[in-house]
């Protein structure tokens, strides 16, 4: 069985998707590449994938009978429209994070895919990073005992990553800023580690340091999980440097009743119950893989789920929990009050 793929969007993250499909040549073949903004990009990707067709209209991809599944790597505001059309056309869907602009759009995608009997998966690649998988196993094995708290942050400078005029500076095109664009990664990963989030409190703001940006480039949040774990997150799109060097460029500290895990200067574990980690802050020397590898693993998982007719680790339905947290954070920041996720569902 060869799963025939349509690539919708041929920009930065799409190149990682393409690498994933190339690595999974035993399962899939890309037959068409689309980029609405640049047919040249579509042609370059098509050529690199062994002669796929190149088009500049995503509807042309959806309409093809020789496309079984699509990778949607477009700006956030287009995710919903394309995914809904793909589901109605009977295509399996891999959509980049965030799934859509908000929870309501995301729920509609899941319902459309369910109605069509097709699979929808969200590109939450942090769950597929090998170091994160190792850390989850340590947590599940009880190496640090019951987890009580977690700290997480990310420091980037958006104008150093995207040119002036990019859709990334527009709330109408992203759905938001630092929260939905970047914190969505870690919120999803922490749900994977610790379970569902019960309530949140958040503040967001604008530094004025990014080109005409009308979405938030600074956010601080407190999250409480259903099991009582308290999380503290800080996100900044206007950081000249990363002040705390970490294994993944994003700070993660997990506090347990019998130890802790953190990623400062590499992943470290301290445990009062496991002798191997009881002598102090122990560097566990996890290999640092290229970022693209996590997307390659994600792509293979998507294809295997289609082949085996099983739900993905990052299914659309699972990701509704992440999008509910995003909606709750924005509501909290707007109203300046704690928001229970049950109230946004």
Confidence at residue 148, expressed as pLDDT on a 0 to 100 scale: 98
Is the dihedral angle over the CA atoms 58, 47, 26, 315 positive or is it negative?
A: negative
pLDDT number for residue 51: 86
Tokens of 22: 């190339």
Q: What is the pLDDT of residue 170?
A: 96
- The pLDDT value given to residue 334: 97
Q: Say what the pLDDT of residue 288 is.
A: 84
The structure's pTM equals 0.97
pLDDT at position 160: 94
Q: State the pLDDT at residue 260.
A: 98
Domains of the chain: 3-124+293-313 (3.40.50.720), 127-289+324-343 (3.30.360.10)
Give 10-residue mean pLDDT values along the chain (345 residues).
Answer: 96 97 98 96 96 96 98 98 98 98 98 98 98 98 98 95 94 97 98 98 97 95 98 96 87 98 97 96 92 98 98 98 98 98 96
């Amino acid at each position: 069985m060869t799963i025939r793929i349509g690539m919708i969007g041929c920009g930065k993250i799409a190149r990682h998707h393409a690498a994933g499909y190339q690595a999974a040549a035993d399962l899939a073949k890309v037959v068409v590449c689309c980029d609405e903004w640049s047919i040249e990009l579509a042609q370059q990707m098509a050529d690199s994938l062994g002669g796929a067709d190149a088009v500049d209209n995503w509807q042309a991809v959806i309409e093809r009978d020789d496309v079984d599944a699509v990778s949607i790597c477009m700006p956030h505001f287009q995710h919903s429209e394309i995914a809904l059309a793909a589901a109605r056309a009977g295509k399996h869907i891999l959509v980049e994070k965030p799934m859509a602009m908000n929870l309501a759009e995301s729920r509609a995608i899941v319902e459309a895919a369910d109605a069509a009997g097709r699979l929808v998966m969200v590109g939450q690649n942090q769950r597929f990073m090998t170091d994160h998988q190792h850390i989850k196993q340590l947590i599940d094995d009880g190496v640090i005992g019951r987890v009580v708290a977690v700290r997480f942050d990310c420091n980037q400078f958006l104008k150093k990553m995207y040119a002036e005029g990019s859709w990334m500076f527009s709330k109408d095109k992203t759905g938001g800023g630092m929260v939905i664009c970047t914190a969505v990664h870690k919120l999803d990963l922490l749900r994977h580690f610790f379970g569902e989030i019960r309530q949140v409190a958040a503040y967001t703001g604008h530094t004025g340091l990014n080109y005409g940006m009308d979405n938030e480039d600074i956010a601080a949040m407190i999250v409480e999980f259903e099991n009582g774990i308290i999380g503290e997150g800080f996100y900044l799109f206007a950081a000249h440097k990363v002040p705390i060097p970490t294994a993944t460029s994003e700070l993660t500290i997990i506090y347990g009743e019998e130890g802790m895990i953190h990623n400062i200067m590499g992943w470290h574990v301290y445990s009062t119950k496991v002798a191997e980690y009881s002598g102090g802050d122990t560097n566990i020397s996890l290999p640092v893989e290229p970022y693209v590898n996590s997307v390659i693993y994600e792509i293979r998982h998507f294809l295997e789920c289609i082949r085996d007719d099983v739900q993905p680790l990052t299914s659309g339905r699972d990701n509704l929990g992440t999008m509910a947290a995003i909606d709750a954070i924005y509501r909290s920041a707007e109203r300046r009050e704690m928001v229970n996720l049950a109230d946004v569902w």
